[in-house]
């Protein structure tokens, strides 16, 4: 009986890997398409990291805007990342997770600024935190927060 | 001053690497690594077991074997039906052990096992078990003596202690890896080593056969009927050699003949009848 339990556990892992790979790829491809489309749409809303606003710009005050996103990685990518942690090297499978998180956070910040009628955001900053830290078996999950000062027209 | 939003360049922060390729490469690497670690721990553990002091082996046997023996071999607890069988098996084992080199401190304790299986095995602390199913197929003492001597040879070579040491260390490694949250399934470590373990043990079986044959030659002056047991089990279904812990039966029969010719032990001689209680069991009553 024990061998069946072992076999069942193994089949479950393979199933999770296949599902994770399939759905993870689909979700990522869809997310990237949406990110690129919105980046194009927001390309006129300037984001910069300067701390001070140049004198030459028309300026009627500023307001903080922020965009926050929580993204999770799929089972397959987490499995590969864990294997990678045995040997070391670039964790390729986590790179796209953080890239998507940062770009999505910027887009949400831009969306907020657009609502205020702003055309520029100064002093843009990022914060990234792992919200599954310390819980080994939980899903790898990060929160990315982007914030800055929107210059009101 | 003019500010612009650049189009985010692709392929810098996210590498264009196939995750599947990475999965297979890393997976293969991990598989080889754990197989190597597993083999090393199995090998080291069996070495530690084989050369551990006999007193340790006896102490371990006291915990894991003697506590489970429901029928005492002597004293009031003994089952009245099987007590004479125990005694006769022990007497045969003692006679055979006299012709074998047992390590100091290790004595053979023979047990009768009430089971239909055609089986006999040795375990730590010098305990050997002979199943009813096997005794029932034995036409005379010489055939049974070969089996008993084979199990005593395992005790003398400290094979049960080696096997226990290897398995304990391998399980410890598997437990360490699987509980450290590394997501590595235990099968990855135990699977490949089960095959290594069985080929390792086939060599051990060949050595036990050779030692048993020598004891038979010493006790009876000939090795007649030594292969009777193997001939009796030849009709039973057998696993393929790669998966089996024992050499193929026909091979063992051939090897017995070969060793006897090499060492000049007569292959023919007068057989000794079974002692009364064993003979009654073999006759089906």
Tell me the mean pLDDT in the region B208-212.
Answer: 90
CA–CA distance from A148 to each of A45, A120, A152, B147 (Å)?
A: 13, 10, 12, 84
Question: Can you tell me whether residue B104 is helix, strand or coil?
Answer: coil
* B4 three-state secondary structure: coil
Nearest to residue A18, comparing CAs of A71, A74, A98? A74
Give the minimum alpha-carbon distance from A94 to chain B in angstroms, rounded to a whole number: 9
Specify the pTM.
0.67
Is the pLDDT assigned to residue B205 strictly greater than 90?
no
**Model pLDDT, residue B63:** 81
- CA of B175: how far to CAs of B64, B172, B183, B189, B261, in Å? 20, 5, 12, 10, 49
What gap in Å lies between CA B56 and CA B65, rounded to an integer? 13
B1-60 confidence digits (pLDDT tens): 678 888 888 888 888 778 889 899 998 998 888 888 888 888 898 899 889 999 998 988
Please check whether residue B273 is in contact with residue B279, taking contact to mean a CB–CB distance below 8 angstroms: yes
Query: Other C-beta atoms within 10 Å of A73: how many?
Result: 23
pLDDT band at B245 (very low <50, low <70, confident <90, very high): low
Cα–Cα distance measured from residue B174 to residue B193, given in angstroms and rounded to the nearest whole number: 11
ipTM rounded to 2 decimals: 0.74
Q: How high does pLDDT run on average in chain B?
A: 81
Q: Residue holding tokens 């553990």? A: B45
What average pLDDT does chain A have? 87
Q: Lowest mean pLDDT: which of A53-62, B190-199, B209-218?
A: B190-199
CB B187 within 8 A of CB A6: yes
pLDDT of the residue at B225: 82
List the single residue in A with minimal CA-CA distance to B15.
A92
Choice among A21-25, A113-117, B116-120, B194-198 with the minimum mean pLDDT: B194-198
Residue B28 burial (10 A CB sphere; 0-12, 13-18, 19+): exposed
Collapsed DSSP state (helix, strand, coil) of residue A128: strand
B16 contacts chain A (CB < 8 A)? no
CA distance B253 to B242: 18
- Contact state of A46 with B3 under an 8 Å Cβ cutoff: yes
| Least-confidence region, from A137-146, B23-32, B109-118, B271-280 | A137-146
User: Beta strand A141-151 with B120-123: parallel, antiparallel or unpaired?
Assistant: unpaired
Domain A2-151, CATH 3.30.110.70 — does that match?
yes
| pLDDT (0 to 100) of residue B74 | 45
Binned at pLDDT 50, 70 and 90, residue B75 comes out as very low
CB contact under 8 A, B5 and A56: no
The residue in chain B having the minimum alpha-carbon distance to the alpha carbon of residue A95 is B14
Whole-number Å distance between alpha carbons of B39 and B196? 8
Domain residue spans in chain A?
Answer: 2-151
Mean pLDDT of A28-34: 94
Which residues in chain B have Cβ-Cβ distances shorter than 8 Å to A79? 23, 183
Instruction: Give A133 to chain B, closest Cα distance, Å.
Output: 13
B124's tokens: 């730590």
């Amino acid at each position: 009986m024990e061998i069946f339990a072992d076999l069942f556990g193994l089949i479950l892992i393979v199933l999770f890997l296949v599902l994770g790979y399939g759905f993870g790829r689909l979700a990522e491809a869809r997310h990237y398409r949406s990110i690129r489309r919105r980046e194009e749409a927001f390309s006129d809303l300037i984001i910069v990291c300067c701390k001070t606003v140049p004198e030459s710009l028309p300026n009627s005050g500023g307001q903080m805007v922020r965009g926050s996103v929580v993204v999770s990685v799929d089972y397959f990518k987490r499995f590969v990342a864990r294997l990678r942690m045995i040997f070391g090297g670039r964790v390729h499978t986590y790179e796209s997770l953080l890239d998507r998180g940062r770009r999505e956070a910027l887009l949400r910040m831009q969306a907020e600024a657009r609502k205020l009628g702003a055309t520029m955001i100064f002093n843009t900053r990022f914060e990234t935190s792992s919200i599954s830290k310390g819980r080994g078996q939980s899903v790898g999950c990060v929160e990315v927060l982007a914030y800055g000062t929107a210059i009101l027209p | 001053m003019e500010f612009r939003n650049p189009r985010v360049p692709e392929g810098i922060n996210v590498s264009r690497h196939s995750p599947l390729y990475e999965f297979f490469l890393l997976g293969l690497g991990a598989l080889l690594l754990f197989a190597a670690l597993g083999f090393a721990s199995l090998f080291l553990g069996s070495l530690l077991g084989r050369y551990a002091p006999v007193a340790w082996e006896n102490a371990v046997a006291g915990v894991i074997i003697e506590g489970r023996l429901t029928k005492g071999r002597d004293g009031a607890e003994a089952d009245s039906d099987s007590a004479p069988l125990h005694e006769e098996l022990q007497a045969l084992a003692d006679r055979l052990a006299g012709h074998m080199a047992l390590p100091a401190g290790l004595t053979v304790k023979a047990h009768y096992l009430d089971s239909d299986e055609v089986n006999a095995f040795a375990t730590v602390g010098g305990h050997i078990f002979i199943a009813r199913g096997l005794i029932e197929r034995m036409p005379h003492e010489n055939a049974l003596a070969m089996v008993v001597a084979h199990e005593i040879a395992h005790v003398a070579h400290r094979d049960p202690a080696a096997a226990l040491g290897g398995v304990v260390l391998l399980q410890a490694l598997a437990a360490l890896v699987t509980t450290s949250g590394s997501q590595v399934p235990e099968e990855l470590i135990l699977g490949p080593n089960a095959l290594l373990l069985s080929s390792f043990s086939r060599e051990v079986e060949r050595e036990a056969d050779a030692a048993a044959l020598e004891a038979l030659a010493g006790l009876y002056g000939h090795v007649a009927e030594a292969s009777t047991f193997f001939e009796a089990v030849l009709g039973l279904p057998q696993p393929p050699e790669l998966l089996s812990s024992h050499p193929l039966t026909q091979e063992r029969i051939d090897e017995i003949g070969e060793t006897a010719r090499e060492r000049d032990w007569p292959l023919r001689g007068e057989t000794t009848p079974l002692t009364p209680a064993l003979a009654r069991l073999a006759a089906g009553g």
